[in-house]
Amino acid sequence: MTNIVEINRLNKIFQNPDITAIDNITLSLPQGEVVGLVGPDGAGKTTLIRLLLGLLVPTSGEISVLNLNPVKQTHQLHCHIGYMPQKFGLYEDLSIAENMNLYADLKEIPAAERAKQFDWLLKFTGLAPFTKRLAGRLSGGMKQKLGLGCTLLGNPQFLLLDEPGVGVDPISRQELMKMVYSLRDKGISVLWSTSYLDEAEKFDRVLLLNNGKLIFNGNPKDLTEQMQGRVFQTAAEEKNPRQTLRRLMQKGAPLTDAVISGRQVRLILQNNRSLEQIDVPVKPVTPRFEDAVIDILGGAEMTPSTIARQIDIGNLPDTVIKAENLTKMYGDFIAAQNISFNIKRGEIFGLLGPNGAGKSTTFKMLCGLAKPTSGQGFILNTDMIKNPEAARANLGYMAQKFSLFSTLSVIQNLKFFSGIYGLRGTARENRIKQMIDIFELKPYLGQPSGNLPLGFKQRLALACAIMHNPPILFLDEPTSGVDPLTRREFWNHINSMVEKGVTVMVTTHFMDEAEYCDRIALIYQGQAIKIGTPDELKKQGETMEDAFIRLINEYQPEAAA
């Protein structure tokens, strides 16, 4: 068998609403490759995976996986493939060992073979010391390793991984990548859906979908090379790169993309256009795969956000958030220890760190969702412990996990959150209408929010968080799992609000997003091990991800004591 997948003129149309999710796709996937599946939200990635698994029936066309028909020979096929779904597919109230036994039952693995498979998989994933731990108490990286381990039960020939890196820190994602490539070396083929284009850049092959169509199929280097001579960076450090970015967008520069990178702005020039309309000195830089994907998708939205037009935060002190020796203990476990920093008005302050490092705990203490064991947190000089309601009145909060009401419609969520934030009458109606227009929610108003595409779920969550024009925003992984175009849209809105004086505290696992921050606190083992600007954290020639991994690996607790 030379090809593990054969697809011919495949179509999938969903009724009510009438959506062409897969549009006339023909492709072959050779055996023994790691293949990336990328594209915007709603491009058809998950639909294609489900068609390959036999979980959906094609509207028309033909599919062969391992020389089997996924619809007619489903059971035979499932004996030879492993599937890791987009959402954590394991049982959080079962231990690691219990989850593995459950999946072994589902895959009909004989009892005599389990011990050998379990022993190898626990060593392979590094989970051997934690078999009694409940899955719900694992870090994000450990959860994904357990998911991969359960997927590998039964020795599958073909793995289908739907966004295995979502919500996982760079070190854990790097470990997952090494694990999967070691499987490829054993002859296992892999289809890996991802929104992290730095991941996809390392794959043997990439399938790029958009609106159900296959618009690229090949080695990612081939697409990246097409961007030579079109990617630039401002030649000098900018005092305020957000102002430079806004000026370029307002002038309608001939760009398909512009993003902040520390104190510089990174630009993609439109094809066959000149640099004459760009009023800042620039220098050429090496293209990335993400540059090529953004360009082939038509580029990012290059118009200023309208979200900040009505923002008026009034007179605020220079320092709006203070953390003074914040410590949080759960029994004997120290989740955060003596964390201190100040955040200025109009600053984007990032909390970075591996899964389980303590950044979400720090985040929750400062926005009043967790009470510190010791230390203090202040919002606009208001003590979060003594007067939490007054402090929270100045906050907009977007949770790490989609925190809205999944059974309520979009319009019901907007009405509910505008009400609890104190909006009434005409002001409330006008603000809801503004949020609908800005975030393009009109087609979805009657839909339950739990059924929205991920990008629109995040749009709705952000709309509800800023409904009351708060001077401070807490954003906990606001773009987790969201495609690069949607992430640029989010940061366009965030930057516009910051330009009006709004202060933002954000956590993220996207290292390119960390470049938007004015300053970053790197949290590890419950401590702030480094605080500085993105450029201060990076060494010459390093990416933010390189710096993240280096600083974590260099950290020694005794050196910080």
Show the tokens assigned to 304.
């200023």
Phi, psi for residue 63 in degrees, rounded to 5: -135, 135
Provide the edge-to-edge strand list for the sheet that holds 158-162.
Answer: 81-84, 158-162, 189-193, 34-38, 205-210, 213-218
**The pLDDT of residue 141:** 74
Q: What secondary structure letter does DSSP report for 134?
A: B
Measuring CA to CA, which residue among 280, 290, 285 is closest to residue 249?
Answer: 280
Show the tokens assigned to 151.
């997927």
What's the gap between Cα 193 and its chain centre? 13
Question: Which residue has 């947190």 as its token pair?
Answer: 377
Measured distance CA(413)–CA(129) in Å, rounded? 43
Number of H helices, E strands in the chain: 20, 23
Written as tens digits, the pLDDT of the chain (561 aa) is: 589 999 999 999 988 667 899 999 999 999 999 999 999 888 999 999 999 999 999 999 999 999 999 999 998 998 899 998 877 578 889 999 999 999 999 888 998 889 899 998 898 888 888 899 998 888 777 888 888 888 888 889 999 998 888 777 888 888 888 888 888 888 899 999 998 898 899 999 999 999 999 999 999 999 999 999 999 999 888 888 988 888 887 767 799 999 999 899 999 999 988 888 888 899 999 999 999 999 999 998 878 788 877 788 888 999 999 999 999 998 888 999 999 999 999 999 999 998 888 888 898 899 888 899 999 999 999 998 888 888 888 898 887 665 678 889 999 999 999 998 888 999 999 999 999 998 889 988 998 988 887 778 888 998 999 988 899 999 988 887 788 888 898 898 999 899 899 999 999 888 888 999 999 999 999 999 999 999 999 988 888 999 999 999 998 765 444
Contacts 24+ apart (CB under 8 A), 438-442: 438/305, 438/306, 438/307, 438/463, 438/493, 439/463, 441/410, 441/414
DSSP string, 289-312: HHHHHHHHTT----S--STTTT--
**The pLDDT of residue 16:** 65
Q: In this structure, which amino acid lies at residue 439?
A: F
Contact 526/362 with Cβ under 8 angstroms? no
What's the gap between Cα 388 and its chain centre? 30
Measuring CA to CA, which residue among 536, 493, 530, 543 is closest to residue 518?
Answer: 536
Contact 75/111 with Cβ under 8 angstroms? no
Q: Are 3-223 and 319-394+470-560 the same fold in CATH?
A: yes
The CATH class given to the 319-394+470-560 domain equals: alpha beta
The CATH class given to the 224-296 domain equals: alpha beta
**The pLDDT of residue 67:** 95
Q: Where are the domains of the chain?
A: 3-223, 224-296, 319-394+470-560, 402-469
Question: Which residue has 């949770």 as its token pair?
Answer: 399
Which superfamily is assigned to 3-223 in CATH? P-loop containing nucleotide triphosphate hydrolases (3.40.50.300)
Relative orientation angle of helices 140-151 and 170-184, to the nearest 10 degrees: 20
**The pLDDT of residue 81:** 93
Burial class (CB in 10 A: 0-12, 13-18, 19+), 217: middle
For residue 277, CA distances in Å to 168, 241, 248, 252, 269 come to: 40, 18, 9, 9, 10
At a CB cut-off of 8 Å and minimum separation 6, what does 196 contact?
Answer: 165, 173, 510
**The pLDDT of residue 41:** 82
Contact 172/127 with Cβ under 8 angstroms? no
